[in-house]
């Protein structure tokens, strides 16, 4: 079993329900979610003229390879109605692989660790909550250290404890 850290989120529809549906589908098709961060509310990053996002980090144990996991996650997004029309635009659900054990991978389908992780507070904050001492395999710093050094000034608020 490999441990992977996923970031799920969205800003359309019933966001919390969409996230619960995604977690159920991830448990069904990808492995076992063994831990979850709190929910975090975040202003949109990149394309800012859109509703705020809710985000959460999941700790997943899986037997899938990183590439097969990514294919399953894209399938789940599609099943849930995600349509990719505008880069960084509003979405019903978004599921990213942040870390996959200590794997370093760069393919057309997938880059692990997520290439923007060190610059994104909305991903680092929930990840630090569940895995603050994990060492980023490229940066060679803990997630907590990356968060402390992060220059991102985006407004990110914990809105609920993990359930």
Q: Which residues, 6+ apart, have CB-to-CB distance to 84 below 8 Å?
A: none
Q: Which residues, 6+ apart, have CB-to-CB distance to 151 below 8 Å?
A: 119
pLDDT by residue (tens digit) across 67-89?
A: 999 999 999 999 998 776 667 66
pLDDT by residue (tens digit) across 18-46?
A: 999 999 999 999 999 999 999 999 988 77
Quick check: helix, strand or coil at residue 118?
A: helix
- Arithmetic mean of pLDDT over the chain: 92
Domains of the chain, first to last: 2-160 (3.30.70.560)
Catalytic (active-site) positions: 82, 91, 94, 96
């Amino acid at each position: 079993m490999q441990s992977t850290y996923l970031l799920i989120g969205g800003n359309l529809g019933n966001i919390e329900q969409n996230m619960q549906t995604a977690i159920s589908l991830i448990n069904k098709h990808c492995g076992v979610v063994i831990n979850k961060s709190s929910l975090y509310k975040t202003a949109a990053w990149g394309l800012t003229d859109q509703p705020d996002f809710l985000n959460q980090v999941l700790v997943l144990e899986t037997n899938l390879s990183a590439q097969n996991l990514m294919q399953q996650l894209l399938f789940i997004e599609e099943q849930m109605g995600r349509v990719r029309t505008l880069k960084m635009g509003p979405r019903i659900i978004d599921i990213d692989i942040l870390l996959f054990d200590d794997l370093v991978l760069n393919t057309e389908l997938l880059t692990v660790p997520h290439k923007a992780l060190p610059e994104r507070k909305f991903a680092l904050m929930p990840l630090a909550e569940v895995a603050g001492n994990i060492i980023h395999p490229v940066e060679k710093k803990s997630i907590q250290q990356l968060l402390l050094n992060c220059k991102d000034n985006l407004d990110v608020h914990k809105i609920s404890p993990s359930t």
